[in-house]
Amino acid sequence: MDEERIKKHGVSPGFSLKELAECWGVSERMLWKELHCGKLESIRIGRRVIVTKEQADRYLLRCSTKVFNAKQIASKTLIDIKTKRIN
């Protein structure tokens, strides 16, 4: 992110999909898919797609919660198999 741009305007204008993809280590195509299915929110100004910090944070929080819940379910299932208890 260009820090001079942020200082000049006083507000972070957000991230391009390319910037987010590089930061998160995913492809731009994956982020486009998330946009089109409504999981990732964005702002469109002309042809430019911008994801604000708040939108990115909400997306990451939703994703991390799903992963955490899946791990909890998986670990509970393993415990149940080891103790041979049926819930």
Average pLDDT over residues 16-38: 92
Taking residues 28-57, report their average pLDDT.
91
Residue type present at position 44: R
CA distance 20 to 24: 6
Domain span including residue 58: 3-83
Q: Which residue has the higher pLDDT, 42 or 77?
A: 42
Looking at residue 45, what is its pLDDT?
85
Q: Give the angle 2-53-28 at the CA atoms, nearest 5°.
A: 80
Q: How far is CA 46 from CA 15, 17, 20, 36, 84, in A?
A: 15, 15, 19, 17, 59
pLDDT at 53 over 90: no
Q: Which residues 6+ apart lie within 8 Å of 1 measured at CB?
A: 12, 15, 19
Would you say residue 70 has pLDDT above 60? no
Structural domain count, the chain: 1
pLDDT, tens digit (0-9, with 9 covering 90-100), for 12-23: 668 899 999 998
